[in-house]
Each structure stands twice: as C-alpha cells, then as structure tokens.
Chains A and B, each alone.
Chain A
Amino acid sequence: MPKLRKEDLEQIAQRMKKAMSLREGAGRAKITVHMGTCGISAGARKIVSAVMHCLEESGAQDVIVTTSGCAGLCSREPMMTVELSGQAPVKYVDLDEAKVKRVFDEHVIGGVIVAEFALARGSEQTL
C-alpha cells in the first residue's frame, strides 16, 4: 500500500462523497419511485433498477433515490416523482426503462422537465 500524501486524503474524501452525502441526507435531486402493489405489478421494480443504472452510469453524487407507496393514480403506473431542490416536484407516468433514461438525463441532470411524460407539476395539498 503506497503511503498517503496530503492530497490523497482529499481524493479519498471525494471518492466517498456519494455514500457520505446519502448519509447526511444532502441531495440536489430526489427521485421517488412509487411502489404500491399497483406500481410493482406494473413493473416499478424495473424502474428502480433503471434509475439505479442511470445513476451509476452518470456518476452523479447528489441524487437521492427512494421509494414510496401508491401515488393514487394506479392506471398510470409505473410512476415516479422527480424533485430538484428548490423546485416543485414533477410526476412522470406510464414509464418504461427508455423513458426513465430520458427523464434522468434531461430533467435530473439537465434540469429541463420532459413534458411529454409528465403528468403534472406539484403535489396534492395535504392537511
């Protein structure tokens, strides 16, 4: 094992940043895949895998992927919600792996909403 130099400490920290920012809950973007029974039967597991694949490919360090229950619109599953920090969440419907790839590249990374797959901007009002 080569002995570390001052700069190497910084490099290790950079390499570990993804894991660490996950633990500290800091993310620029959050992707929520809806995994109710309806979502899972419509193929939401594949959507999660596709998202994880995109994430790995892009090397993005600040994107949080999570799952949640049924979004209430079972007929349009699989669905996912993309939320860039400081912006309203956007719900995408009728997804497949190719659509996920486009949403990831254009919206999550590029910051431009893919209007043709989007259902609506925003969420229901709660309470």
Chain B
Amino acid sequence: MKSHRAHVMLCAGTGCVSNGSFEVKAALEKELAERDLQDEIAVVMTGCNGFCAQGPVMVVQPGEVFYQLLGTKDIPHLVEEHFLKGRPVERLMYRPPVDKIPVPRMSDIGFFKKQRLIALRNRGLIDPEKIDEYIARGGYQGLSKALTEMTPESIVEEVTKSGLRGRGGAGFPTGRKWASAAKHASDEKYIICNADEGDPGAFMDRSIIEGDPHAVIEGMTIAGRAVGAHAGWVYIRTEYPIAMERLNLAISQARDYGLLGADILGSGFDFDIHVFRGAGAFVCGESSALRASIQGDPPEPSAKHIHATERGLFQKPTVLNNVETLANVPEIILRGGEWFAGIGTEGSKGTKVFALVGNVNNTGLVEVPMGTTLREIIFDIGGGMEKGKEFKAVQTGGPSGGCIPASLLDLPVDFDRLTEVGSMMGSGGMIVMDEDTCMVDVARYFLDFLRDESCGKCTACREGVDAMYQIVSRICNGHGCEGDIELLEDLGETIKDTALCGLGTSAPNPVLSTIAYFRQEYETHISERRCPAGVCKALITYSIDAEKCNGCTLCAKNCPENAISGDKKEVHTIDQSKCIKCGICRDVCRREAVLVQ
C-alpha cells in the first residue's frame, strides 16, 4: 500500500452525502492534484461520523483535526493552509454554543468525548467499502476464534454471559434466543438480520450498515455457527440505497475471501447471506410479519404460540436479531462475555446507539454505555437545547415509546428504567422537544403514523388506534369533550391488552405517557379551548403587539395570504378572517411583536 502522510476521513453517511460530501470529495481531489499533494494526502470516504448536525464533516489524521459544515468553496483555502502549510483552519472547526472558541481535536468536542463505541467501533476509521480495512481493525478475528477455538455451545455460553439483549426493541436476551434455536434439531436453520428500521427519526441500523457492513456479516456468521444455521437473510428496506449498496459489496468481498460460502477459514463450516429488500412497511419490522414477507406471504404478524426458534422462517428454527445486536457479537466473542457484562447496568449490559434528533443542538448518532442519564445524553453530548429554549420532554422508543418529562432527566437509560416510566428503549430513537412543542399534537402525530402503518389484521389495533386518533384530533381541533381523556386511557389499556403483536400493544404508549406526564395540557385544550404551546391551529390566534410593532412592514410583505395591513412606521394588524396561522409573520418579526395565544 502506498504511504501517505495524512488521511482525510470524509463522512459519506446519508446525512453528509445529502449535504454534498461527494462534491466536497471531488473538490478536494482536484485541489490536492493541483498542488501535487495527491500522493501525500489520501481522501477516505467513511461511514456516518455521527455528528450529522454539522455535516459534511471530516477528520484529518494524524492529529484528529475535526472540520465541519464544509462546502466546495472552503476547499482551496483548506488544502493550502492545512495540507500544504500545516496550519489547521480555525474557521472550519467546531465551536461550542456557549464559549464559541474553536475546538480543533475531535476527542475534545463534547459530542464525542462522552461516547463509548462498541457497535460503532469502526466509525470514521475505515472505508466501509474495503474489507482489508475492516480486517486491519481486528475484523473477522471474532469469527476466526469462534470457528477454530470454540464449540457452538461455548459461543452461546459466551453471548449469554455477556448479558447482551436485543437492540431492536423488545430487549430479549440474545444468548437465550440462540440457545433455544441451537437446541431444536432440524435439517435447516436460519439467521435473519432485521434491518427494517421503521421508526420516524431513527437511523442507527442504517448507519451501522453504511459505516461497517462487515460487522453485521461477521455477527450473523457467528450466530450461524452457534445455532447450526448455514443461511442468513438481511431484511433491509429499499429506502436505504447506500446501506444496501455497501452491504451487497461487503457480502461479495467476504465471499471472495472465503469468509462467506463453503468451508469458511478452512474450518469446514458453511454459511452464506442473502439480502432481501423490504418495501418499507412499518409492520415488517415485527418479527413474524418480517418472516411472512420473506416467504412471499402478506406481511402480517401471527400469534406466537410457538417460538420462531423452534418453527420460524419456512417452518425451520430461526434466529432473528437486529443489526446493532449482531454488530456487537464479534467484539463479545473476541474480548469475552465478561468484558461486555462489565459495561452498563445490572439488567442492561454494554452500550446503546441512539439517534438523537429534535430540538437539540448536536443532532446525530451517539453510542453510550447503558445507564448514562438522559441529561448527559441531551445536554453533555447533545449540547443542550436549540436556541436556548427550555427542555420539555424527550420521546424515546419510536412510535411505540413514550414521552419523558424534565422531572425525569436524571433517569439512567436502560431497558428496565425506560419501561418503568412508561416509555421504552425501542430501537433507540430519541426525539428531544422544547417548550414550543404541544404534547397533544405529538400524540396525534404518532397516532397518525401508527393508524397509517397498522396492518389491519387485528381489530384492536386497526380500529382502536384510529379511534384514539379521532379523539386526539378532536381535542387538537378545539372540539374535545369532558371525558375524552378517560376514554383515551380506557381505549389505550384495552388495546394494550388485546392487540396481536408488539406494535399494536405498544401503540397507545405515546398517548398514555403524554396523559400521564402532561395531563394538564390535555385539560387546557378541552376545558379552556387553548393550546398552551401555541401549536394547535384551531386553538390559537396571531395578533400584533401595538407596543412593540414599529411598522417595518416585514410581516405584511411575507404574509402569503395578505392578511396583514398597516402603513410604514404604523402599527400593523392581522385580519383574522384571512389568517391561516402559518406563523411566518412571527418568524420574520425582529421585535417579537407577533403574539400567539
């Protein structure tokens, strides 16, 4: 391999790509060539770096210099200063929201400092399209150990000892699942990797596959060896084109090296992986619906009297694990179950990847040890609330999860603690909401998503979720009645008890948790016909504060309905009959003269 004196690790995760990282790459290569530096400086495209809020981002190694928000116009200056003259460019560095002093080194940035990477261990350090780079970072060593030094039983034992629990939602102990599948004798068994990540705002699994596809392949192959399976499927949604492309490439590279196929590493063990493209239905993330989809049946959940580990895909014993779960497996095998069990809390071992989104400064992908508090994740890593607003709630666990209020910010995040407070870990979505968020409207948003995605097989979910949506919509539209809150609680509990699959039983969570922690807000909507956060359009009016308005005409110019009138330097007024409550006037006003009530 040619030696370079520096590697530019440029993020090619989906977030940065959509912000133009390939254009930045082209500009970099052109500029490096112009200055005859192409043999000294290598440009490496990596998977998601995690700090998506600041994309496109790059890290220059050695030296770990972190650059953000790059555009093609920044490149000539950057190349001349940093790569030719060795002077890192402060203008392109990260500046924390408070003291604004540029931070050159990646590991000194709050967002990265508190993270611990196991599932994302190769993040930003390898080119996901090169198998040799994965191997150079210890890749396939876990598989090698599992195949040459361990028995299937001892692999299962190691995973059991690690305390690893499923990262896809339910948190079922992985070791127990494997042991069950291993015990059932069959001519064929299957491993399925669930990459049908459907929660709004979640991109953990997507980023793992995009950034380190071999980790998933290695994890699946180890699982195959442990339970005696020789075939695996990755069920991935078509909406993830970059992930799918890199996964397919990784599978073909692994086959070329004999790390998939017959007689892997000369051990006599055969295993191969197929990629199955899902069409992006939320229900297909549910294990039995996912299996039905692969079999060519309508993707509907079925009752689970018999475990999939006994009769699953094509009626054969099947292990279905989530992407992140499988990405943890090679490290567990390599370093031992005890090492993994030493990280995290009593009931939840290891780390968890979260997609941190919403009204927080540092949106992105974070991996922290289980037991890290919500406050640490949102304020230390996430850099606090956007625009200095007040924190109101954090929604965890996707549409099946719940909203957690500010009083519980010091909650250590693990499977059991989140369930105790009426939410759940889910697959790791974390949506941060500020004071301007209406919790009734949030509940309505998730119900709308769920009624749309309900497969319709069981009445409880099909009719019940829709009924809840109608009631919550009514409340948002100013037609809520006395008794609606109780009716929602009653409906919610009934759906929890009677729906067929996990998606149905958890569907009422967003409503029940917002009622539990923000009941007052529902009551204000119903009895006072008022939306305290100023979100629900039917319940708010916009008006102009005569004291503050200086007649700049900015609001009138921007109003799409021409509902604002007033002469220059005179107080303006809003014609309520024309106002569509879009809020543009409030956004453009520089004097905070537009009021919402």
Contacts and interface: CB of A to CB of B under 8 A. Distances in A.
A1 B259 CA distance: 12
A48 B40 contact: yes
A6 B265 contact: yes
Interface string A1-17: 11111100100110111
A35 B85 contact: yes
Nearest to A69: B87
Contacts of A18: 1, 3
Nearest to B257: A4
A96 B2 CA distance: 24
B257 A3 contact: yes
24 contacts: A2-B258, A3-B257, A3-B258, A3-B265, A4-B258, A9-B140, A9-B141, A9-B144, A13-B138, A15-B1, A17-B136, A19-B42, A20-B137, A22-B62, A23-B125, A25-B63, A25-B64, A35-B84, A40-B85, A45-B36, A55-B3, A67-B83, A67-B85, A68-B86
B457 interface: no
Highest count of chain B CB atoms <10 Å: which of A6, A25, A45, A65: A6
Contacts of A27: 62
A22 B132 contact: no
Nearest to A16: B136
A116 interface: no
Contact of B266 (A6, A25, A67): A6
A5 B135 contact: no
Interface of B: 1-7, 9, 36, 39-40, 42, 61-64, 83-87, 125, 132-133, 135-138, 140-141, 144, 148, 256-259, 263, 265-266
Contact of B265 (A5, A17, A66, A68): A5
Contacts of B144: 6, 9
A88 interface: no
B5 A52 contact: yes
A3 B267 CA distance: 12
A36 interface: yes
B250 to A, nearest CB: 15
A88 B265 CA distance: 47
B87 A3 contact: no
A3 B263 contact: yes
Given A35-B85, A66-B6, 5 more contacts: A4-B258, A18-B3, A23-B7, A23-B61, A64-B62
A56 interface: yes
Nearest to A14: B136
A65 B258 contact: no
B85 A69 contact: yes
Nearest to A64: B62
A25 B9 CA distance: 13
Interface residues of A, number: 37
Interface string A67-90: 111000000000000000000000
B1 A52 contact: no
A22 B141 contact: no
Contacts of A66: 5-6, 62-63, 86
Nearest to B59: A23
B84 to A, nearest CB: 6
A17 B258 CA distance: 22
Nearest to B39: A52
Contacts of A9: 135, 140-141, 144, 265
Contacts of A6: 144, 148, 265-266
Contact of B86 (A5, A24, A32): A32
A35 to B, nearest CB: 5
Q: Which 10 A-B pairs have the closest CB atoms?
A: A3-B258, A67-B86, A16-B136, A68-B86, A65-B5, A25-B62, A1-B256, A23-B61, A35-B85, A12-B135
Contacts of B6: 22, 66
Given A9-B135, A18-B1, A19-B1, A67 B84 contact: yes
A4 B85 contact: no
Given A3-B257, A16-B133, A22 B266 contact: no
B171 to A, nearest CB: 33
A36 B80 CA distance: 11
Nearest to B139: A9
B23 to A, nearest CB: 24
Contacts of A23: 7, 9, 61-62, 125
B136 to A, nearest CB: 3
Contacts of B141: 9
Contacts of A32: 86
Interface in A90-107: none
Nearest to B88: A68
A78 B86 CA distance: 14
B125 A24 contact: yes
A40 B86 CA distance: 12
Contacts of B258: 1-4
B61 A22 contact: yes
A4 B253 CA distance: 12
B358 to A, nearest CB: 32
Contacts of B259: 4
Nearest to A26: B62
B132 A12 contact: yes
Contacts of A34: 86
Highest count of chain A CB atoms <10 Å: which of B6, B42, B136, B256: B136
B268 to A, nearest CB: 12
B143 to A, nearest CB: 9
B450 to A, nearest CB: 43
A6 B4 CA distance: 29
Contacts of A17: 136
